[in-house]
Amino acid sequence: ETGVTQSPTHLIKTRGQQVTLRCSSQSGHNTVSWYQQALGQGPQFIFQYYREEENGRGNFPPRFSGLQFPNYSSELNVNALELDDSALYLCASSESSGVSYEQYFGPGTRLTVT
């Protein structure tokens, strides 16, 4: 297992609601990336945070937002939930934002939107 933890494990929300997912990075890691993995698909990059600043973003609408805290833990917030937001949300941490740094994944949060 990696040292990356995510909470909650599972979550059920209703369309239109808002959700916050949390990630604690591995000790010594200052970079956190978030991915969305829909059923039967590979993970898709949402955004990355490096030292509390957004450091890159994938093709996701602004209702997907995030934060990184001074201890490098991170939150993913999704507003106005849609049915298609149902997915496994993965957090990955790395020692730095450089391309050569390996990303270590957490177990994910399974979000179901009804």
Partner 1 sequence: AQSVSQHNHHVILSEAASLELGCNYSYGGTVNLFWYVQYPGQHLQLLLKYFSGDPLVKGIKGFEAEFIKSKFSFNLRKPSVQWSDTAEYFCAVKRQTGANNLFFGTGTRLTVIP
Around Cβ 62, how many Cβ atoms within 10 Å?
A: 7
- 105 lies in the binding site for partner 1 (CB under 8 A): yes
**Which span sits near partner 1 by CB under 8 A: 15-23, 63-71, 73-81, 90-98?**
90-98
- 22 lies in the binding site for partner 1 (CB under 8 A): no
The minimum distance between CB 33 and partner 1, in angstroms, equals: 6
Dihedrals phi, psi of 83, to nearest 5 degrees: -55, -35
34: left (phi over 0), alpha (psi -120 to 50) or beta: beta
Cβ-contact 91, 2 below 8 angstroms: no
Using CB under 8 A as the binding rule, the residues of this chain from 40 to 59 that contact partner 1 are 40-45, 48, 55-58
- 102 lies in the binding site for partner 1 (CB under 8 A): yes
Before 61, cis peptide (omega within 30)? no
Both tokens of 45, joined, read 């990059």
- Give which of 26, 23, 40 is closest to 108, Cα–Cα: 23
Which is nearer to partner 1, 83 or 99 (by Cβ)?
99
- 66 lies in the binding site for partner 1 (CB under 8 A): no
Residues in contact with partner 1 by CB under 8 A are 1-2, 4, 33, 35, 40-45, 48, 55-58, 90, 92, 97-100, 102-103, 105-108
